[in-house]
Chains A and B, each alone.
Chain A
């Protein structure tokens, strides 16, 4: 029994190999016809892969961005963290009043459950220079309070962080991101040195540890100044302050959120029963929103590619039926020298599958390449959605099997005597 089973598998494998060879040569013999047939599968798989690649790249970036906040930190701001929707929806946020520095400071004094509350505003800077060097372009300037450091996971390497007195007095001091400090002071410590931007001198009081750079962007090319100094120097009256709140621990997280929400509603005079006129953004809520969005996109892609693949499958069935008729004599020969119906079935289904897989493989390659081109244009790191590659190729095989079965069945059931006589 065992040896007959072994023989069965050996025959089956040899058949698969043989069928594969025959399929490849049949495809090569009819290049134009095959490539037109492949096109349907190619488009179907391509659309899946290109969208999945792009989304994967976006998702990786967003997750990394979101993940920069500490686990127990949430953000209160005017705008939602991620927004997927139409313009009408945006108007709601647009109409909200800005969160002001005074409201932020008020909240900080009242929110007893929070461990740290940082206030944050980003400014655009011009050229940043030190007595020794110029910073590369694109330096950003953050107006912060001491509470921001913990929330942002900023770890001090040298010197000190901002103090409340810096904020209260609107001192001209700054803490530098790691790469900026190295660029400006290549020969030694930056602490107690002076830098200059927008015409004002600032004393460096501290340098942060390197956070590393993502996707080629330089994450550490920034300077931190007291938020009050920033408002004085840069204006920024039209900007809404971002509040970074850190809960004491995981257990106290929800209570902290609720307390901040309540206090801010009072401060901003939101009538009871009306919805908040600010957003509370946590890692979880952002990720949830992203997932909901990507799920919708996935659903759409699935629908579109299903239609493409259905059309492709019917095309493949047609071509296979033509191929069976053309090769009637070959089928007769094979039957005469000992091929069983099952062997003929295997051969033709294999051909359909190979046809689909060739189209699918091209679709995968083109999809990954174009998806990554899109990702590159959005300055995202390249990804290969391995799981979707396998799903895509799996679907190809399925299409081949489903739509190859009928032609294969027809081929297998041809009468050997008739087929041998077929001209």
Chain B
């Protein structure tokens, strides 16, 4: 017909275990954004299967996807994507509002999440009163607050200077060590090095998939 179907991703087959720390790399246009959208349940594949914690995501409708995102996915974006008019605490509370937690508990849980990223004393600051690194920490706290299966960080250091970027990566590493499954989408080798498994995408195909040897430097 008039339109040509373009497959952003083809023949991608991945098996990721709980607790893995995975970097997804690839130049722009390689299909890594599409992979991230699929992993983040923002999109469903036209064909194929995505199973998350035993649930078949590829068959889900819009409402179910929203619920899955709320429960299972924590997003960290390059541009932080905090709500500008809400303070840190309310930004972190937001996922809990949609999951239906009552107000008192919600506040406590959000406070704990902010404390765990080292921002317990900045909870009433609005995003524009925080530094880039602090904003990204708020975003990470928001990603963590619903204890999701996956933390999905899309170029988390892209808008940060290298020192702050290192701090953020260190924080993600800590989360990974605590048993969270962490994905980092990036095109920077330095950033990808933090991960224990690096998946490279090129032209919609998996170009390589390598896992570092277990022995973490003591």
**A positions within 8 Å CB-CB of B:** 7-8, 10-11, 14-15, 18, 22, 25-26, 29, 329-330, 332-343, 416-417, 420
Q: Say whether A337 contacts B83, CB under 8 Å.
A: no
| Given A29-B85, A420-B77, A10-B102 contact (CB < 8 Å) | yes
Cα separation A189 to B146 with both chains bound (whole Å):
87
Q: Say whether B70 contacts A337, CB under 8 Å.
A: yes
CB proximity to A under 8 Å, residues B78-105: 81-83, 85-86, 94-95, 97-100, 102-103
Cα separation A11 to B81 with both chains bound (whole Å):
23
Cα separation A29 to B40 with both chains bound (whole Å):
32
Cα separation A7 to B99 with both chains bound (whole Å):
9
Chain B nearest CB: distance from A369 CB in Å? 33
**B positions within 8 Å CB-CB of A:** 37, 40, 42-43, 62-63, 66-67, 69-71, 75, 77, 81-83, 85-86, 94-95, 97-100, 102-103, 142, 146
Q: Say whether A338 contacts B37, CB under 8 Å.
A: no
Q: Say whether B66 contacts A339, CB under 8 Å.
A: yes
Can you name 9 extra interface pairs (CB under 8 A) apart from A14-B102, A337-B75?
Answer: A11-B98, A333-B81, A336-B81, A337-B94, A338-B66, A338-B95, A339-B70, A341-B63, A343-B66
Contact of B69 among A18, A29, A337 (CB under 8 A): A337
| Given A10-B100, A14-B100, A417-B42, A336-B85 contact (CB < 8 Å) | no
Q: Say whether A337 contacts B43, CB under 8 Å.
A: no
| Given A14-B103, A329-B81, A330-B83, A337-B40 contact (CB < 8 Å) | no
Choose among B37, B98, B103, B146 the residue with the greatest number of A CB atoms under 10 Å from its CB. Answer: B98
Q: Say whether B98 contacts A339, CB under 8 Å.
A: yes
List the A side residues contacting B67 at CB < 8 Å.
Answer: 338, 340
Q: Say whether A7 contacts B100, CB under 8 Å.
A: yes
Chain A nearest CB: distance from B85 CB in Å? 5
Contact of B62 among A7, A11, A14, A341 (CB under 8 A): A341
Can you list 24 A-B contacts (CB < 8 A)?
A8-B100, A11-B97, A11-B99, A14-B100, A14-B103, A15-B98, A25-B85, A333-B83, A334-B98, A335-B66, A335-B69, A336-B42, A336-B69, A336-B81, A337-B142, A338-B69, A338-B71, A338-B95, A339-B98, A340-B67, A340-B98, A341-B62, A417-B37, A417-B43
Chain A nearest CB: distance from B88 CB in Å? 15
Nearest residue, chain A, Cβ from B77: A420
List the A side residues contacting B100 at CB < 8 Å.
Answer: 7-8, 10-11, 14
Choose among A29, A332, A340, A341 the residue with the greatest number of B CB atoms under 10 Å from its CB. Answer: A340
Cα separation A329 to B83 with both chains bound (whole Å):
9
Q: Say whether A338 contacts B98, CB under 8 Å.
A: yes
Chain B nearest CB: distance from A16 CB in Å? 11
Contact of B97 among A14, A342, A417 (CB under 8 A): A14
Choose among B66, B70, B85 the residue with the greatest number of A CB atoms under 10 Å from its CB. Answer: B66
Nearest residue, chain A, Cβ from B43: A417
List the B side residues contacting A18 at CB < 8 Å.
Answer: 97
List the A side residues contacting B82 at CB < 8 Å.
Answer: 333
Q: Say whether B98 contacts A343, CB under 8 Å.
A: yes
Cα separation A132 to B102 with both chains bound (whole Å):
77
List the B side residues contacting A8 at CB < 8 Å.
Answer: 100
Q: Say whether B37 contacts A337, CB under 8 Å.
A: no
List the A side residues contacting B86 at CB < 8 Å.
Answer: 25
Cα separation A133 to B48 with both chains bound (whole Å):
106
Cα separation A341 to B103 with both chains bound (whole Å):
22
Cα separation A298 to B98 with both chains bound (whole Å):
45
Q: Say whether B98 contacts A337, CB under 8 Å.
A: yes
Chain B nearest CB: distance from A17 CB in Å? 8
Q: Say whether A334 contacts B94, CB under 8 Å.
A: yes
Chain A nearest CB: distance from B141 CB in Å? 12
Nearest residue, chain A, Cβ from B81: A333
Contact of B75 among A336, A341, A342, A343 (CB under 8 A): A336
List the B side residues contacting A417 at CB < 8 Å.
Answer: 37, 42-43
Cα separation A342 to B62 with both chains bound (whole Å):
11
Chain A nearest CB: distance from B74 CB in Å? 8
Choose among A14, A18, A22 the residue with the greatest number of B CB atoms under 10 Å from its CB. Answer: A14
Cα separation A200 to B70 with both chains bound (whole Å):
95
Q: Say whether A340 contacts B102, CB under 8 Å.
A: no
CB-CB nearest 6 A-B residue pairs? A338-B70, A11-B100, A340-B66, A338-B98, A337-B95, A7-B100
Cα separation A417 to B35 with both chains bound (whole Å):
12
Cα separation A343 to B98 with both chains bound (whole Å):
8
Nearest residue, chain B, Cβ from A9: B100
Cα separation A29 to B85 with both chains bound (whole Å):
9
Chain A nearest CB: distance from B92 CB in Å? 10
Cα separation A417 to B41 with both chains bound (whole Å):
10
List the B side residues contacting A14 at CB < 8 Å.
Answer: 97, 100, 102-103
Cα separation A80 to B40 with both chains bound (whole Å):
80
Q: Say whether B63 contacts A340, CB under 8 Å.
A: yes
Chain A nearest CB: distance from B67 CB in Å? 7
Choose among B63, B70, B97, B102 the residue with the greatest number of A CB atoms under 10 Å from its CB. Answer: B97
Cα separation A336 to B43 with both chains bound (whole Å):
11
List the B side residues contacting A11 at CB < 8 Å.
Answer: 97-100
Nearest residue, chain B, Cβ from A6: B100
Chain A nearest CB: distance from B190 CB in Å? 25
Cα separation A158 to B66 with both chains bound (whole Å):
85
| Given A11-B100, A14-B103, A336-B40 contact (CB < 8 Å) | yes
List the B side residues contacting A329 at CB < 8 Å.
Answer: 81
Nearest residue, chain A, Cβ from B145: A337
Q: Say whether A420 contacts B81, CB under 8 Å.
A: yes
List the B side residues contacting A10 at CB < 8 Å.
Answer: 100, 102
Chain A nearest CB: distance from B165 CB in Å? 21
Cα separation A398 to B85 with both chains bound (whole Å):
28
Q: Say whether B83 contacts A338, CB under 8 Å.
A: no
Q: Say whether A338 contacts B99, CB under 8 Å.
A: yes
Cα separation A342 to B100 with both chains bound (whole Å):
14
